[in-house]
Amino acid sequence: MNLTFPMALDYRLATGLDKPTLRPPECLAANASYCKLALCRPVTTPSVAMILSLFRKNTDTAPVYAVYNAIVAQSRQPVFYAEWGVPDTVTGRFDMISLHMALLFRRLRSDDRKVKEFSQAVFDLFFKDMDRSLREMGVGDLSIAKRIQKMGNQFFGLLAAVNAAMDSLNMQALDDVLSRNVYAEVDNPPVRKLSEYMVAQSDLLGGQSIEAIMAGNVTMELNA
């Protein structure tokens, strides 16, 4: 898919936000605390884009919004926070929506042009929402582009780490990815439960046709 960012940034350098981070490259938590995203409110029309293809014509369609809303809704499932130890914070909710986005993009891996365009449109909407949230919090135009790009690079680090672990069927590697990202500040979390959930959701998505997903029909389930 055409989800491309310049990858020259050193993820272990300062993020330009509140403080530098020494966490692994795929760790999202260091950048997420300032950004509300769509984690606590419905998705609405986003602001002007500041990242890559967001400069092109508006690609948001009803199916794109439907898929994005499904991801956000699944990421808000109370069991993640009440029973599985995910911090019930803006950072924790951002981690969960990012994980579900990673699962979606795994399913949509394809060389087909239309699939790539749909994947890009969902990605664009995700980062448009971050752009809007930053503006609502008073971040100036001169800072937003750099911050969005850094968060984009971190998201791609997470996506790569999840794909590597799941493609190799390495549950311990997936445990490690989730421990560093979702559970970095949690003692003795049930990380294997979340890893098994990720595998189950990937299998569930694998049974859904790409055509159905591109029509806005995506199903996720939660078997606690």
Has residue 151 got a pLDDT over 90?
A: no
Q: State phi, psi for 190 to the nearest 5 degrees.
A: -80, 60
Listed ranges 5-14, 52-61, 196-205; the one with the highest mean pLDDT: 196-205
Mean pLDDT score, 29-50: 39
Q: Residue 137: its pLDDT value, please?
A: 75
Residue with the larger pLDDT of the pair 118 and 145 = 118
Q: How far apart are CA 40 and CA 158, in angstroms?
A: 22
The DSSP result for 23-80, as a single string, is S-TT--HHHHTT--TTSSS---------SGGGGSS----HHHHHHHHHHHHHHT-HHH
Give the residues across from 20 on adjacent strands: 14
pTM for the model: 0.73
Q: Which long-range contacts (CB under 8 A, 24 or more apart) does 168-174 make?
A: 171/195, 171/196, 171/199, 174/198, 174/199
Residues 91-109 have pLDDT tens digits of 788 789 899 999 999 999 9
Per-residue pLDDT tens over the stretch 6-31: 322 222 233 333 333 333 434 443 33
Give me the pLDDT at residue 210, please.
97
52 pLDDT higher than 70: no
**Stretch 82-93: mean pLDDT:** 88
